[in-house]
Structure 1
Amino acid sequence: MVWKDDVRDVVVLYCTVPNLEVGSSVARVLVQEGLVACVNLIPGLQSIYRWKGEICEDSEVMLMMKTVRSRTEEIAKRVKSLHPYETPELVSLPVRGGLEGYLAWVREQACVGCLRSAQRD
């Protein structure tokens, strides 16, 4: 089988950052530490939002991160420590299906970090 439905463990996390420099820095740390398999940096976002009673509009870059659900708490802590925003946007979306080979690769890469964490304990 090539396509896998009813995937439960793979997730996509979205996070916005102020620019490509910050995005690249965050992405590299997350991949190097084995927390995520891959991060796509998507420039050119224009965000309009309310912050502390004011309407704000900013250019941002979206980070689209592929990982496994069991790593999301560690990722959230790491993103918060690296991110310049007071309250970073970080949301998780479930993956409902995908190519089996790709999903296996995501699991394998995200588990590299699991092994590193276990070795430190």
Structure 2
Amino acid sequence: MQQTFIMVLCSVPDNTEADKIATEILNAKLAACVTMQPNVYSMYHWQGEIHQDREVLMMIKTCSTLFEPLAEAIKAIHSYDTPEIIALPISQGEPRYLNWIDQVTQ
């Protein structure tokens, strides 16, 4: 069976938390790469109100088979009650890059 790949999106409140999560999941080989975009602006419903916050968006490249352990590792560190942890399929990619994801997450 051919490996499938995903990009997991996860927003966190600041760079410190993003670095902590990224270090943990990379050390555990649950991800090949974590790209962090600071200072994204989020508006969302929470507990009956609309909130507005500056956050860091983490874009985590990994194999689909690692989603569950990756999500558990993130939740163990994440400060939000209900963290955003969503996976998007990578339907196509440069073969050498996809092979690299597969190799480093073994």
TM-score bracket, normalised by the shorter chain, equals over 0.9
Question: Could you say which structure has the higher helix fraction?
Answer: 1
Question: Root-mean-square deviation (CA), in Å?
Answer: 1.1
1:96 aligns with 2:91: yes
Counterparts of 1:82 and 1:44, CA distance in 2: 20
Give me the identity figure in percent.
33
Q: Which residue of 2 aligns with 1:31?
A: 26
Counterparts of 1:42 and 1:108, CA distance in 2: 25
Counterparts of 2:96 and 2:8, CA distance in 1: 20
Q: Which letter maps to 1:28?
A: T
After TM superposition, the runs of 4+ consecutive aligned structure 1 residues lying more than 6 A away are: none
Which runs of structure 2 are paired with 1:1-121 in the superposition (5 Å)? Answer: 9-111=4-106
Q: Which letter maps to 1:53?
A: G
> What secondary structure is seen at the aligned counterpart in 2 of 1:42?
strand
Q: Which letter maps to 2:7?
A: V
Q: Which letter maps to 1:75?
A: L
Shift of 1:109: 1.0
For these two proteins, the number of residue pairs brought into alignment is 105
TM-score (structure 1 length as normaliser)? 0.84
Tell me if the contact between 1:8 and 1:96 (Cα under 8 Å) persists in the aligned partners.
no
Larger Rg: 1
The one-character-per-residue Cα deviations of 1:1-26 (angstroms, maximum 9, x if unpaired) are xxxxxx86111000000001100110
Counterparts of 2:13 and 2:105, CA distance in 1: 25
Tell me if the contact between 2:61 and 2:101 (Cα under 8 Å) persists in the aligned partners.
yes
